[in-house]
Chains A and B, each alone.
Chain A
């Protein structure tokens, strides 16, 4: 930032027009439409949520009850489980997308037969309605006659019960989330690979570096910006994930695949508006506590490279 501001000073000295012109050419009112919408519909509710999370609230009136909602939240085992589920879901999907996205992108940026077809196929699930994906995989993952277990059976493997087993339900949804989202990660990595100057690869070949060495010392470090983008975006998405889980299990069987976003929705539907808002605050704290420091760390590392 310091660099940017000195650059500006120099520029102003160099040219005849004053800083008044800068303000005139780049007027503050350009912020206005976005700022109004953002402040009223995002910032204001976020600030209000801190207050209403401390109340028993019926939308008409509220009663201040201190931290009771939070105490409630952490005394109920399924709410704790939901928090753990949220973290598992986010890290599993994010990690898998990083690994698969990178491998797919490296493969698809090389010389491969039917490259553009393969790229399109992998990206395609991104376009399909999440609810539709959920409905489809609910059928494909049926324990008895679903396509997945039927095919596994064909190879003599007895498939898991997927969504029907509380132990594997969340994991099954996470797999579908990876299936749906790996296309985005791949595209980001393809963009990252395209940005690597060709000279690096040529230099490596001249030096006689093997494929693995080249990957470790050139591709991986130069892909770091892409990696941190994928990590941050997929973690944020994973921690807030709702659509797919709701379409596939609604948090079930029982509470086995509940995450914070689905708990917030259920408390909202049940009319526990204060408790629901407290859930929002918990999610807010969780997301911020994970993503904010990670983002700083990744940015710092990015500069190092």
Chain B
């Protein structure tokens, strides 16, 4: 039955598979060696000790361009240090990748990540290098430092300008329908009714990338603080929660209201962030609750013109207290696993980032997106994009409040999904807020905060 030839062939195959398996472990180590070799030689500096710093950064275009711009300007000054990028997804998925890589000692030399509550969730005193002794920190503004420190140290430098959360709107639609920028939530909903009647999508939502679903809740914080000053501290101490605080619940209710009025685009549940940008830029939708940090992506949409887009703060109950919820700049951190010469080079890079040259490099790479947090960077770029111009007046009249995540270390990781669920009508505003309170509790317990 078994001819000699096929038997021999089978033995040969068996031998091959055995050999392949035996080789695999050494093959893979060889491979990583080869990988780092080739990467090392790509930094073609003539300097004696070339150093390569790897930075983990959000895959978003702006973030990548910022770091690339900073990197090449820095390498021009320090030819022996090259900057390599590694990208990760944004949003909740990205948060979790950062957490996991820190927890497993697999972090890159430097990484790009949010300040505030998201930073606190990283357990910074155990995982990140304390920068409080570094001279360059004196150039960083106090308000920023508040967002990147805890009792034990300061951990980050601003890698961008301040940004804000609010409503991006399509100006041609506003002009066509004779609308004006709303100062109260009621005016906003009245505008939506007119926009709807004219056949445009009043509010663009993109729950397919659920980080973008959070904006109506997060950007409402200025309004919460107007009604209940200092609420964030009560929240942190577990003395107040969202479901039982009417002012805080309002953000969820506004999301629900927009959904129930049918003001969202039909494909809101699966649309992605880039779908949302093009809907706004091409005038299919009028409002997109968003962060101003996305303006460069918006400017890159084919067939759109960023000068057609304006920006206003998420309106609240009263026109008098109208103001803007602001986000601290995304920061750069050095994990404790970066040691020796790598750490020295990393600190040198951070020093550069918070210098006038650093700010210029950022402005050159992505344009100025708002005020810088660095004392040497006071000049305002002349070529601000339209939505960014709309942002400065709020800073000038000091009608700004930091978002809750910069005032309190607790932020539940499931907020994106919960807001997406409320925004698609699966949960009511109250149910969503209750779920989120539970989620916050889980996070606070995991962090070991007092009072939870």
Contacts and interface: CB of A to CB of B under 8 A. Distances in A.
Tell whether A and B belong to one assembly. yes
Contact of B103 (A76, A138, A142, A271): A271
Nearest to A59: B103
Contact of B100 (A163, A255, A269): A269
14 contacts: A75-B438, A142-B267, A144-B266, A252-B208, A253-B426, A254-B207, A254-B420, A256-B424, A266-B413, A266-B414, A269-B92, A269-B96, A269-B97, A271-B96
B99 A271 contact: yes
Nearest to A163: B270
B414 A270 contact: yes
B222 to A, nearest CB: 26
B426 A271 contact: no
Contacts of B414: 266, 270
Given A144-B267, A165-B269, A166-B424, A58 B446 contact: yes
A75 B434 CA distance: 12
Contacts of A144: 266-267
A56 B445 contact: yes
B417 interface: yes
- Size class of the A contact interface (CB-based, 8 Å): 20 to 34
Nearest to A162: B270
Contact of B418 (A142, A166, A251, A254): A254
A171 interface: no
A253 B97 contact: no
A234 to B, nearest CB: 27
B362 interface: no
Counting from the closest, the 10 A-B pairs by CB-CB distance are A254-B421, A269-B96, A253-B269, A270-B413, A164-B269, A164-B270, A253-B424, A254-B420, A271-B99, A254-B426
Centre residue among B268, B269, B423, B435 by max chain A CB count within 10 A: B269
Given A252-B269, A271-B100, 15 more contacts: A56-B446, A76-B438, A142-B267, A143-B270, A163-B269, A163-B270, A164-B266, A164-B267, A252-B207, A253-B421, A254-B422, A255-B417, A255-B421, A268-B96, A271-B103
Interface string B174-210: 0000000000000000000000000000000001101
A139 B441 CA distance: 38
A72 B207 contact: no
A45 interface: no
B99 A270 contact: yes
A78 interface: yes
Nearest to A275: B442
Nearest to A273: B103
A272 B141 CA distance: 34
B61 interface: no
B425 interface: yes
A85 to B, nearest CB: 13
A24 to B, nearest CB: 22
B425 A166 contact: yes
Interface in A239-278: 249-256, 266, 268-272, 275
Contacts of A165: 269
Nearest to A165: B269
B207 A253 contact: yes
A140 interface: no
A106 interface: no
B446 A254 contact: no
A221 interface: no
A256 B207 CA distance: 12
Given A253-B420, A254-B417, A270-B413, A143 B427 contact: no
B269 A271 contact: no
B47 interface: no
B446 A271 contact: yes
Residue with the greatest number of chain B CB neighbours at <10 A, chosen from A138, A164, A275: A164
A77 interface: yes
B96 A270 contact: yes
B277 to A, nearest CB: 17
Interface string A75-94: 11110000000000000000
Interface string B400-418: 0000000000000110011
A131 B414 CA distance: 24
B269 A161 contact: yes
A72 B421 CA distance: 19
Contacts of A78: 417, 421, 435
Contact of B426 (A72, A163, A255): A255
A253 B417 CA distance: 8
B104 interface: yes
A262 B121 CA distance: 22
Contacts of B435: 76-78
Contacts of B446: 56, 58, 271-272
A249 B209 CA distance: 10
B93 interface: yes
B194 to A, nearest CB: 24
Nearest to A76: B438
A75 B420 CA distance: 20
Given A144-B267, A253-B426, A269 B93 contact: yes
B392 to A, nearest CB: 36
Contacts of A163: 269-270
A253 B420 CA distance: 6
A112 B97 CA distance: 52
Contacts of A58: 103, 123, 446
B389 to A, nearest CB: 34
Contacts of A253: 207-208, 269-270, 420-421, 424, 426
Interface in A114-142: 138, 142
A164 to B, nearest CB: 4
A252 B99 contact: no
A56 B423 CA distance: 31
B107 to A, nearest CB: 14
A269 B418 CA distance: 16
A250 B93 CA distance: 10
A72 B269 CA distance: 27
Contacts of A270: 92, 95-96, 99, 413-414, 443
Contacts of B100: 268-269, 271
B336 to A, nearest CB: 13
A60 B96 CA distance: 17
B116 to A, nearest CB: 16
